[in-house]
Amino acid sequence: MATDKRALVTGVTGQDGGHLSALLIEKGYTVFGLIRGQHNPKKLAYQHEFPQVTLIEGDLTDPTSLFRAMEIADPDEVYNLGAVSHVGFSFKNPTLTLDVTGKGVLNMLEAIRLTGRSERTRFYQASTSEMFGGLDYNRPGRGYNEESLFHPRSPYGVAKLYGHWIAKNYRESYGMFVSCGILFNHEGERRGTEFVTRKITQAVARISLGEQDYVELGDLWPKRDWGYAGDYVRGMWQMLQHDQPDDFVLATGKSHSVEDFLAAAFGEIGVADWRPYVRQNPEFLRPAEVDILLGDASKAEGVLGWRREVDFDGLVARMVSHDRGLARSGG
């Protein structure tokens, strides 16, 4: 597919960054990725997988580097995926989380505006269902949508809410094409192993090969609306192709507990009773928990024509199968 469009992706080495890189390359974009750090251990693997992408050194906390990135990439579209994204980590590193996940959004918007690209460059902000907070009074029966109240329950959620509102503010103040995707949890074979789904599927794979005895987790009752990341990056792209900027929820409309995920993942290796393989470790408990997340993506489905291809069982099967392959090859 041929296009002369140029895209800059922050957080390019993360889960969504990998899926989005593949999608944009497939669509014929000239892709630039922001990569942080003097020596980023993920750089080699990323370059090996995506040699077409030009990496630009920069950090969301360093406005000068973002101005430079904007001049080099001269993008039609910016996807701001970079963040401190782990909720548990954000409780231990709240100031860093504010700087990267919150103020980083402002730094990106200012880099677009002050380099004279407000009219040309479209901006996607990676907002999150964590902004809703999962409290009972704030849970509509049919799931959260774009009209639901926000009540973030972690430094991460609060920082993301700042990013969400400053993004909307730049849309309203400067007429910039800024769209926020309020995405519910999405997972897959690229998911970081510090997140509960991948931690479980990696452990299940190792347990099936006799390489691990058990997995240590925190709370097992919280429920999440888990989808597949490959489906969700397509939605991000669709948001920036729409004729006007707006906010959209992406979700599956189904919620499962961590216990449900454990049962499905162990089921993939023929283990019906997973409890002997799971221990609780208080290290993985959070000072405040988000009890249940359930999303309603009707707007994205109706307005953008967004569709999902992978359901919960398909997601779990895919992740376990991938991690068994990795474990067998010593990965």
Task: Looking at 219-311, list the stretches that DSSP marks H as alpha helix, in order from N- to C-terminal side.
Answer: 229-241, 258-267, 298-299
Asked if residue 15 lies in contact with residue 197, where contact means CB atoms within 8 angstroms, the answer is no
Q: Which two tokens stand for residue 19?
A: 């899926």
First-to-last alpha carbon distance for the chain, in angstroms, is: 34
Q: Is 117 helix (H, G, I), strand (E, B) or coil?
A: coil
Nearer to ligand G4F, 69 or 203 (CB): 203
Span interacting with ligand G4F, options 29-37, 66-74, 105-113, 214-222, rule CB under 6 A: 214-222
Is 124 annotated as catalytic? Answer: no
Interacting partner of 16 out of ligand G4F, ligand NAP, none (Cβ under 5 to 8 A depending on kind): ligand NAP
Q: Is 15 in the site for ligand NAP (CB under 6 A)?
A: yes
The C-alpha angle with vertex 179 and arms to 15 and 150, in degrees rounded to 5, equals 85
Q: Is 315 in the site for ligand NAP (CB under 6 A)?
A: no
Cα dihedral sign, 15-16-19-24: negative
Q: Is 164 in the site for ligand NAP (CB under 6 A)?
A: no
Interacting partner of 286 out of ligand G4F, ligand NAP, none (Cβ under 5 to 8 A depending on kind): ligand G4F
Nearer to ligand G4F, 30 or 202 (CB): 202
Number of chain positions touching ligand G4F (CB under 6 A): 22
Interacting residue with ligand G4F among 20, 217, 236, 264 (CB under 6 A):
217
Taking the C-alpha atoms of residue 100 and residue 103, their distance in angstroms, rounded to an integer, is: 6
Catalytic position from the list 29, 46, 156, 170: 156
Q: Least separation, in Å, of the C-beta of 84 and ligand NAP? A: 6
Q: Is 185 in the site for ligand G4F (CB under 6 A)?
A: yes
Is 128 annotated as catalytic? Answer: yes
Interacting residue with ligand G4F among 81, 293, 300, 316 (CB under 6 A):
293
Q: Is 279 helix (H, G, I), strand (E, B) or coil?
A: strand
Q: Which residues pair with 126 in a beta bridge?
A: 181
Which residues, 6 or more positions from 154, have their beta carbon under 8 angstroms from its beta carbon?
A: 87, 90, 91, 130, 286, 288, 290
CA separation, residue 261 to residues 102, 130, 156, 222, 224 (Å): 31, 19, 24, 11, 10
Nearer to ligand NAP, 271 or 289 (CB): 289
Nearest by Cα to 247 from 304, 194, 190? 304
Is 211 annotated as catalytic? Answer: no
Q: Is 11 in the site for ligand NAP (CB under 6 A)?
A: yes
Residues that bind ligand G4F (CB under 6 A): 85, 87-88, 128-130, 184-185, 194-196, 199, 217-219, 222, 224, 258, 284, 286, 289, 293
Q: Which residues are catalytically annotated? A: 128, 130, 156
